[in-house]
Amino acid sequence: MKKKAIMWIELGLIVLLAGALLAQCISFKKTRPVVREPAVPGESTLSYSPPPPPKLQWDTVKQIAKLRELITPRVEKITEDIYLARGFALGSVQMVITDEGLVIIDTTESQEAAYKILKRFRKITDKPVRYIIYTHGHLDHVHGSPVFLEKGTQVIATKEAVKFMKKDFDLLKEFHNRSRLNQAGRAAPGYSRKLPVKSPVRGTRELGELIWPTITFDQEYSFVLGGKKFELYHTTGETPDHLMVWLPDERALFCGDLYYQSFPNLSTPMLDPRPVRGWYESLDRMIAMEPKYLIPAHTAALIGEENIRETLTNYSKAIRYVYEETVRCINQGKTVDEAVQLIRLPDELAELDYLQELYGRVDWSVRGIYAGLIGWYDGQGAGLSPLPPRILAREVVLLAGGADKILARAIELQEAGEHQLVCELGDIVIDANPDDKLAHTIKASSLEYLGYTGGNLNMFGFYRSAAALERKAAGIKP
């Protein structure tokens, strides 16, 4: 009995000790994250006179001259049977004449523009349209199709194009409509200043009927029409569904958006990441074909084997360089913001006329490659389960001594030309109190200046839309 008592006492002590240890290591209380909603700061009361509208920079004037060339409607004769209609809209249309009819490659974003193009084509030939080919499913290549469609016309695209178009024009239709209008500078009609030149983006509000492909293929497809052979190859890059059209007898290559006269738009800020590695691999395939004529879906055609080889080689080098440098930064553990500050094209590429950042940008490309290759978490903790932006913003406004303190500094910075910092300070106040009209107004002015000095068509459109949206939020018109 005595031994049993001792045993029970020892067991009890062990249980007590174990309980004490558990109490030190484990909490049995239910816990919840502490989320305190700070008070909304009062609306700012500063007096503010917006700066005068921004003036065009000389570099921008030169770019506008180039833009005017791009948006001047013209039908160019490339060979006896190949014509390129460009400048009628953002997207171009290519026509190949055969003895048995026409092949139309891409159809623009605008039926209005497509009617004008068809009228010009009909001055050249009255042959029927036998085929329409989509190089890819972006709206500026497919939405003019009803104008060219005739009885018996076949529409060709990759199998991926059907998936891609269903995603853009069905699953994410409303989002894509907003993002395209934003990119075009049309997000808030009535709240933007008048454009200095006519926009090349037309007909995107009423997209109308979408003509779906009747012939699809995986990697390769070919046909003969009127004695001409057409070879189609799946080429990822601008999109995963992209294709190129090769006429081997003429050595004419229709490359869609894999080449145009600008550093390419490897990442559109509001849309999904693009297959960048596939882009330069596709360019290398194009170089190996040794084309004599290169007809893109934007900007002028290139003629001459040596000219095309040199241009495409440099184009491929530029894309490959940005991709590989970005991958190197990822593997080194650099954040995307660090990579953006580090990666620049080598001078010998950056100075080339056809690699100027007029449409695409290197920094946007870096961000797009990050988004396409790795996840959204930076490994630093705070971003794993972040609070809503308004909570931190309200704390910052409180620490600063109120919205007036932050916006007074923003006005000083605006006068000094530091417009990006103005916008970021403005966002703190707006996140803290979306009804602060002065913050919206100050930010709108700086956004306009950023747009006019950015030197990039897409950047101008995005900033123009952003400025208009800020004015709309403030309830003021320019």
The enclosing domain of 439 has a CATH number of 1.25.40.880
Q: 356: domain range?
A: 71-373
Same domain, 157 and 300: yes
- Between CA 452 and CA 467 the distance in angstroms is 12
188-202, 305-319, 371-385, 461-475: least confident range:
188-202
**Any idea of the CA torsion for 268, 375, 321, 179, to the nearest 10 degrees?**
0
Does residue 335 form part of some domain?
A: yes
Does residue 110 form part of some domain?
A: yes
pLDDT tens figures, 369-380: 999 999 999 888
The pLDDT-based confidence of 455 (bands split at 50, 70, 90) is: confident
Residue 203's pLDDT is what? 47
Does residue 7 form part of some domain?
A: no
Same domain, 287 and 323: yes
Same domain, 364 and 399: no
Region 373-401: mean pLDDT is 94
Same domain, 361 and 227: yes
31-35, 101-105, 387-391: least confident range:
31-35
- Between CA 212 and CA 205 the distance in angstroms is 20
- Among residues of the chain, what percentage have pLDDT more than 70? 88
CATH of the domain at 209: 3.60.15.30
Specify the pTM.
Answer: 0.90
For Cα atoms 141, 147, 148, give the angle at the middle one, nearest 5 degrees. 75
What end-to-end distance do the CA atoms of the chain give, in Å? 97
Residue 373 token pair = 């290759």
Residue 417 CA: distances (Å) to CA of 59, 113, 294, 447, 449 = 18, 40, 43, 11, 9
Residue 73 token pair = 């409607």
> DSSP string of 341-361?
HH----HHHHTSGGGSSSSS-
Given 373, 403, 432, the domain boundary residue is 373
pLDDT tens figures, 331-360: 999 999 999 999 999 999 999 999 999 899
Region 83-99: mean pLDDT is 96
Q: Which among 336, 177, 364, 159 has a CA at the least distance from the CA of 274?
A: 364
43: CB partners within 8 A, 6+ apart: 403, 433, 435, 436, 437, 438
Residue 193's pLDDT is what? 85
Residue type at 248?
Answer: P
When divided into structural domains, the chain yields a total of 2
What is the average pLDDT score of the chain? 91
Highest mean pLDDT: which of 184-188, 209-213, 305-309? 305-309
Residue 21's pLDDT is what? 65
> Is residue 202 scored above 60 in pLDDT?
no
Count of other CB atoms within 10 angstroms of residue 263? 26
Same domain, 351 and 260: yes
Does residue 141 form part of some domain?
A: yes
Region 256-285: mean pLDDT is 96
Same domain, 415 and 461: yes
What are phi and psi for residue 154, nearest 5 degrees? -95, 140
Does residue 284 form part of some domain?
A: yes
Region 169-198: mean pLDDT is 88
- Between CA 476 and CA 22 the distance in angstroms is 63
pLDDT tens figures, 3-38: 666 667 667 677 667 666 666 666 666 666 667 788
> Is residue 319 scored above 90 in pLDDT?
yes
Residue 36's pLDDT is what? 79
- Between CA 251 and CA 249 the distance in angstroms is 6
Residue 352 token pair = 């080339």
Same domain, 439 and 367: no
Same domain, 349 and 396: no
> Is residue 91 scored above 50 in pLDDT?
yes
Q: Which among 260, 286, 299, 243 has a CA at the least distance from the CA of 76?
A: 299
Same domain, 209 and 325: yes
